Structure 1
Amino acid sequence: MLDISTAAFWIAVLQIIAIDVMLGGDNAVVIALACRKLPDTQRKKGIFWGVAGAIGLRIALIFFALQLLAVPWLKVVGALLLFWIGVKLLQPEDEGHGDVAAATTLVGAIKTIIVADAVMSLDNVIAVAGAAHGNLLLVVFGILASIPIVVWGSQLVLKMMDRYPIIITAGGALLGWIGGGMIITDPALPADLLAAIPYGKTLAAAAGALLVVVTGKTLAARAKTHPAVDLAASKTKDISS
């Protein structure tokens, strides 16, 4: 359990804020899309109650995530999920929000927001639970910090990501760092697994960060080259025909 007076506690706080910044943007986009067809007088209500329901659901998800992380091997599974999320974050951007239905009623918009947030918040919940190290105070802080980010700050964050791609890379590395540190603390593994290695946990976390960045960048580079190959093949086919 982290002590509020230690540097580790505040490092975890900064990690949770960074996680919310990196992973909270899509939630705000979904909220805007779900409420875009509501009358002006109902939009604020839709956003308020939709966010309130989504936050309540996130509290329940994080509570179960904290409980599950104490089960043998599930930290390993959670870490692998974080690696996958980090790699996915580094791939070429795909809007992916076109299938979010805009509701015409207040209740419909609230339902859309809550359901979409439940699906999209899994990555945020796992990442916050891993960064919190079982500290409920940090979990509560992570939830509270996510509210202004989702409601007000995400559009600014998205613009900054477009302008400074290094932020996205740093976010992917952070998820890999948390995942690498999470794996070696799984209850199923020996407590002294890396005891003989100086700074063993730090090295494991760094290895996780490196794994995510290298894998993500490699896959992103391949994704960028494939369209060009397909286009060239198409042109060759047209010429030969």
Structure 2
Amino acid sequence: MFDILSSPDAWVALLTLTFLEIVLGIDNIIFISIAANKLPEKQQKKATFWGLVLAMVQRILLLFAVSLLIGLKNPFYFVETTWFTAGISGQALILLLGGLFLLYKSTTEIHEKVELPEHEEELLEAKNITSLRRALFQILIIDFIFSIDSILTAVGMTSGIGDKPQDALVLMVIAVVISIIIMMVFANAIRVFINKHPSMQLLALSFLILIGFMLIAEAAHLSHASFFGSEVGSIPKGYLYFAISFSLLVEFLNMKYRKKEEIIEDLEEKKEVHKVKPPAKDP
């Protein structure tokens, strides 16, 4: 079953696919971090760990059911009006619901962070999710949405590799397992970093809104949706990751600038205290 690993082309495909799985999993880690940070501190690491384990199990199960997943691309319902046409498929419906869920979840999280609750009970409710089970349920939903994109990318990259039908499946499973293990190593550090810096929390939630819009646009593209005769095109993911990377770079520069300003303010305060301090009297 692992004969495919003796091929140099298979190793190149495996390394490339693993890298892409990690890149595609960044948005997943962001969501898991935000969901886990709303739990009590003792349960945050557990939620992060089990969230990624669920993601790995779910993706492997989807790989074994990849023929069913690809079959969801066929439209099962057509909409035709004077200004709008579309062929609704299972894949498009999943991405549409996932995009709407991300928009709803992200906007409510931002609202909780920027709006001051009127009552103390609302403040406690906004700070913590009621249970670990609820957090894992939310993570499981979004894992499924992100798994669709991940699996379809893996299928496209391993198409035609190996002489046996299971060769591509072996590579995809290995790539998913390796990528999830790597994400497990860094996930908690990312979660702590996001939780420690409020501006990063809002930036991460903004990324999720952006990803939600991208999922909705991708659903429209898969449905060949057309508005007033113009078909919705696909949004290249490179644009999305460039925007996220550029925003992170700007935020890191802002954090460094704020830290420098704090150091300067501390030095000025020490100077003022030293000036005001009366000279010591001679005995």
TM-score by length of 2: 0.42
Larger Rg: 2
TM-score by length of 1: 0.49
